[in-house]
Every structure is written in structure tokens, then in C-alpha cells.
Amino acid sequence: MAMRAARGLSILFLLFFTWSGVAQAAEARRVVTSDNSDYFGFDLRSDQNVSLDQCKTTCLGDPACRAFTYNPKAKWCFLKSDYNSLKPFKGAVAGKVVNIDGDLDIGAPPDLAFFPTWMADQAQQYRNRLTGPAYTKPTEGLTALREAAEQASLTGDHRSAMQKYEALVSVLPDDGQLWFELAQETLAVQPTANSAEASTLPANATSAGFNAYKLLRTTKTRADVLALLGAALNRRDLARPALQAYEASLALVNSPAVKADYEDLKARKGFRVIDHTVEADTSAPRICAQFSEDLVKTGVDYSQFVTVDNAAPKGVEAKDKQICVEGLEHGQHYNVTFRPGLPAAIGEVITAPVVLSIYVQDRAPSARFTGDSFVLPAGARRGIPVVTVNMNAAEMKLYRIGDRSLTQLLSGYQFLRQLDGYDISNISDQMGEPVWQGQLDIANDLNKEVTTSFPVDEALPQRKPGVYVLTAQPVDENDNDYDSRATQWFVVSDIGLSTYTGQDGLNVFARSLGTAKPISGAELTLLARNNEILGTATTDAEGRAVFNPGLTRGDGGMVPAVLIAKQGDSDFVFLDMGRAGFDLSDRGVTGRPAPGALDVYAWTERGIYRAGEDVHVAALARDGAAKAVENLPLTFIFTRPDGVENRRIVSDGASAGGHA
């Protein structure tokens, strides 16, 4: 059994060497030399004390030698496993091996900028799998195996041909032609239904094609494999690299068949207009065309490539992958043409005119409010402006959220936001109640924004404490719980609240929004996050009230959430205590920390002195109530610029807490 296995192995090696001999015989070679030149790099080995003819003969006799550089003075022959660019070198002779049939060896293949690194790694992994020990090597003769592969291809059995070529490259992985034929057959295989072959077969074809590209060294074969890579990359929906592969192939050989494939792919997936949009719901409508590639960022005037009804456009904006035509009107039909020559950042241009025939329709009916301010003055005629477009009437709904639900409202996400149908139902059913519903007549002006005042006094003849929510939408619009409605939050009040927190607690000041005078007798209620009443107070004649400092130090549900102010039964306002206070620190007015029981303020009469001049220092000592602290000694310490203490002076502070 062992003898039969050894004999079979010998037959395999015999077939291998026989195939190699046939391949070498078919590739008779000769040397082409260039004087005063050098093929840099790719050193194979060097031979000393040889003539130029001996150097040529040695290279021709070594299948691994593809070029050489000969130094006549030193009589050294530097054999090269490959070559790329020919560099000048005085006195040297550079030679390269070519086929006798005249199909010149064009050297090592250049890197493909369009072929990503991850795909090159994928090709190497495919090669490693076929040449690795886990892959079963063929036992039949390689000549017979290749003939069988060619026959299978001729009969349309591309799957069988693919498998046989895989077996061939597993034994002869450095034969670029075999890799090329493997790529062709793999690309021709029809993937089985409901399998991963729809992705694996094009990937394997790309890998085989790339492996062939690295090995094939003639103009025709390299052009063929680049065209095949273009087809394989297109099969993988990589249109841009596929076009670049076709372009590289055509740069070598101008094949009509390849050019036809290239033009077809370019027309379908090259630089082109892929979509367009009409921005009609704005006061200044525009038509925007989306392109398949990024546009040139600077230096190109795209307006010269655009016409509107065969005339220059009033305005053009080009950005990223989009060109927008401006200066249009609603209710008009336009023919927007993008002319040939319009360039992309990749260097490609549009080769044929693209005409978009578009009707800019009237603006869709819409409504909105003008802002998020929500306090209406109580002493004037009250109206809320509603801005509408193409609406003869607006459907208006008014809801009230009572003062006892404010903490629930402010702890959620809805306050001061535009509400959808679900949010409005939640407010109506759980936190508040509907108080008015009807239509607001509008003096419509086609496609223009119209502002109409909603009469709050008519909708609310008697106000109750709480927050009001007003929504607007077109009449007869289908209610969708997920669509936002125009929403205005508001309260009607003459009370303006401001708070300051200090060591004495939470200071609250109430003033009239109409006159700015203090409001006395306003009832204040401080509510916690859990809706518990933390404390109550009434403003004095100066409009001031103070809450105990302990009330503001609660944890969890006892954290202050809302400050409510009432004056009578109708005037009501609140302050959200959970929001950050107004901070002026970013405007250079941070101030200084609030003083404690003792506050010392010191200063000099100016800020810079020369050596030998007198420095006049003054200070005031005050207590927490800003009253002078007398007979309090202060020690003034003076230090030099280098940090060394210069002197100390003690002041008794007998002059009403003043020191000088």
C-alpha cells in the first residue's frame, strides 16, 4: 500500500515537471538590453567575473530571472527576479527577458489605486486556501486536467471548469494565465438559488483576477485581466472601481468589446444625475439634482453648466453631491438642463445633456406659531399670532393643564415642545382638559405666509390657574398620532418672578410685568418633584418673600420642582425650578462667591508701580449684613515678585472697619 502511494506521488511529480517543461518550451525567451541603465531592486542573486554574454545566458537559463543589471568594469552580473522602472546608471547595462514571439514583457504590475486593501487581502486568502495543505491536490496529469477544464468551458459547464482550474492553480500557483482562466469561469457560473454563492462567486472571481494581474506581464494579457476585474467588480456593485478597471484596461489595449462594456456601465452607473427633489414648501422654491459623485469644491462655476428654460438660472448652489437651482416660483413648469462637461471631483464629466421637466406645485397647507415665549401680559388685548400658508381656516384646539399637574408636566419631555397626536391625547386624558375648539378664519394669500391673531380673550372669557396649550392644523387634515402639530404653550399673567439663592434661603421677588412695580400679597407655593408642598409664603410690600434654606436641600422626590405664584383667582404664573439659573459667567461677569459671616474687600489705588514708589492699600471689613466690623485687626502681607515675603503691617480697624 505504501509502495503504491509512493509510486503515485512520483507520477504526480513527473507530470508536474512534464507540464513545466511544456510551458517553458512554449515560452522561448531572449534578452533586450539598454545601455547606461539599471533595473533597480528585485535582486535575485549576483555572479562575479562573468562577461555580458555569460550574464545573459545565466538569466535565460534561470526561470526565476526576469531581468539583470551588468557592471562591465567589475564584471558583476546582478540577476533580478522582477523589474519595474528603468533608471539611468552610467556604464551599466540593463537587460530584460522577453518572449521571442514579440509579446514583450512589460514588467512588474503597478499598484491599482482603485483596488482596496481589504480586497487584496481577500485575494491572498483565496490563494492560501487553494495552495494550503487542507486543499486536496489533483492526482491526474496536469495536461489532461487542463484539457478537461477547457472542454467543460466549451460545453457550458462552467462550474466544473472552475473546479478544475482551482485544482490546477493549487499545483501551479504562479501561472497567471491559469488564474485568469479560473476568474473567467468563476464569473460565468450561475449561483444556485437561495445560497451564498451570489456573493462568494463574484468575490472569488475578483480574487482570482487580482492574483492573475500580479503575474501576467504582457500588454494584452494585463489588459484582458483588467477588463475581467471590471466585470467582477461590477458584479459586486462596486461601479466606481469597475469603471476605473475598465479605464486601465483601455489604456493598454483599445478593445471595442471592452469599450462597449465600459460605456454601458458608465451610462448606467458613472457620474450622472441619480435623483432630484423639489423644495416647494418654502417661500423661495428650488429644484435640486443629486449626483452620483461629489462635485468639485472650489474653482468651478457650475452655473455655466445649468439652464432653466434655455436661459441662465437666477441662482445656483453647488454643494457636496447636489446642485440646486434657485429663483423659481410656485405653480410654474420648468425645464432644467444640466449641460455636458459638468465636472465631478473624480475628474469625470457628464457626457450628454440631462433635462429635468418639473412642475413646482403650490405650497402645502401648514401652520406654525412664532416662538416659544409663553407668558402673555394680563393688562392688554391678548392675541397669539398664527402663521399659515395656503389655508382659508385653521382648526384650533385649546387645552388647560391645572396647577396641581405642573410637576408631572415639567418632569416629562413635553413642556414647550411641538406635540403630536399621542401627546395631545395624553394631556387631554391625564394631565388636563380641553377648554375650547373651533376654526380661525384666515385671509389667505396664495403661497405666502399670512399671520393671523388668535383671540385668547374670546376663547378664555374666564381664566383658571394653569398652563394652556394651543394647537393649530389645517381643516379636515387626517389626524395622525405621529405627526407634530403647531403648538403654543402659554399662561396669561402680570406677575414676573425672579429668584436668588443665598445663605438665608430662597429669595423670591414678584414684580408687575406691566409696570415693573413690586407686587405685594402674592401667594407663593413651592412644590417638590413628587408634588408635595414644600412651603408657602406671601410677598411683602417690596414684593419679596423668603423660603427657609432647608427647603431647597431636599433629595429625590423632595427636590424643589415648581414655584407657583397667584394673585386672586385669575392671575397665575409659575417658575420651573429644575432648569438652570441664568448664568452670565461666559460674558465676563462671574462676580465673586457670596460672603460668609465676615467679608473683607481690599484694593490698591492703582494696578502697577515702579521700583521705589509708594503703594496705598485700603480695606473694608463687613459682616453678613454688610455692617462694619470695628476693632478687628487685619494683617497686610506684602510679597515680592519672586514670592518672598517682604513685610507685614497690622491695622487695628478702629475706623468703622476701615483700614488704610
The residue among 299 and 569 whose pLDDT is bigger is 299
Q: Which fold has domain 11-99?
A: Hepatocyte Growth Factor (3.50.4)
Closest of 69, 156, 60, 130 to residue 100, by C-alpha: 60
Largest CA distance in the chain: 122
- Of the listed ranges 225-234, 327-336, 369-378, 538-547, the one predicted with least confidence: 369-378
| DSSP code per residue over 237-248 | T-HHHHHHHHHH
Burial 189-206 (b: 16+ CB within 10 A, else e): beeeeeeebeeebbbbbb
Task: Please tell me the distance from the alpha carbon of residue 98 to that of residue 67, in angstroms, as a whole number.
Answer: 9
The residue among 459 and 232 whose pLDDT is bigger is 232
Task: Please tell me the distance from the alpha carbon of residue 521 to that of residue 510, in angstroms, as a whole number.
Answer: 10
* Cβ atoms of 525 and 519 closer than 8 Å: no
Examine the pLDDT at 12 and tell me if it is beyond 80: no
* Cβ atoms of 377 and 445 closer than 8 Å: no
In CATH, 273-360 is 2.60.40: yes
**In sequence order, what E strands does 475-555 have?**
486-493, 495-502, 505-512, 523-528, 533-538, 544-547
Q: If phi over 0 gives left and psi between -120 and 50 gives alpha, with beta otherwise, what is residue 386?
A: beta
Of all residues in the chain, what percent are helix, strand and coil, respectively (each to 5)?
30, 35, 35
Contacts of 126 (CB under 8 A, 6+ apart): 204, 207, 208, 211
| DSSP code per residue over 129-148 | HHHSTTSPPP-S-HHHHHHH
> Cα angle vertex 201, ends 195, 205, to 5°?
175
- Of the listed ranges 24-28, 318-322, 410-414, 644-648, the one predicted with least confidence: 24-28
Contacts of 318 (CB under 8 A, 6+ apart): 295, 300, 302, 324
Unique residue bearing C-alpha cell 478687628: 632
pLDDT digits (tens, 9 = 90+) for 410-424: 777 778 788 888 888
Q: Is residue 284 classed exposed, middle or buried when 0-12, 13-18 and 19+ CB atoms within 10 A define those classes?
A: exposed
pTM beyond cutoff 0.85? no
In CATH, 495-585 is 2.60.40: yes
pLDDT tier, 25 (very low <50, low <70, confident <90, very high otherwise): very low
**In this structure, which amino acid lies at residue 199?**
S
Q: Which fold has domain 117-269?
A: 1.25.40
Examine the pLDDT at 8 and tell me if it is beyond 60: no
Q: Provide the CB-side half-sphere exposure for 169 (13 A, CA).
A: 27
**In this structure, which amino acid lies at residue 269?**
K
Task: Please tell me the distance from the alpha carbon of residue 640 to that of residue 647, in angstroms, as a whole number.
Answer: 9
Q: Which fold has domain 366-493?
A: Immunoglobulin-like (2.60.40)
Which sequence spans correspond to the domains of the chain?
11-99, 117-269, 273-360, 366-493, 495-585, 598-659
Which three three-digit cell numbers place residue 232? 467582477
366-493 and 495-585: identical CATH topology: yes
pLDDT digits (tens, 9 = 90+) for 42-64: 899 999 999 999 999 999 999 88
Task: Please tell me the distance from the alpha carbon of residue 362 to that of residue 480, in angstroms, as a whole number.
Answer: 23
* Cβ atoms of 524 and 545 closer than 8 Å: yes
Task: Please tell me the distance from the alpha carbon of residue 8 to that of residue 19, in angstroms, as a whole number.
Answer: 16
The residue among 382 and 530 whose pLDDT is bigger is 530
pLDDT digits (tens, 9 = 90+) for 425-481: 888 888 888 999 999 999 999 999 999 999 988 888 777 888 889 999 998 777 666
Task: Please tell me the distance from the alpha carbon of residue 188 to that of residue 354, in angstroms, as a whole number.
Answer: 35
Cα distances (angstroms) measured from residue 538 to each of 23, 93, 152, 467, 517 = 107, 106, 100, 22, 16
* Cβ atoms of 93 and 31 closer than 8 Å: no
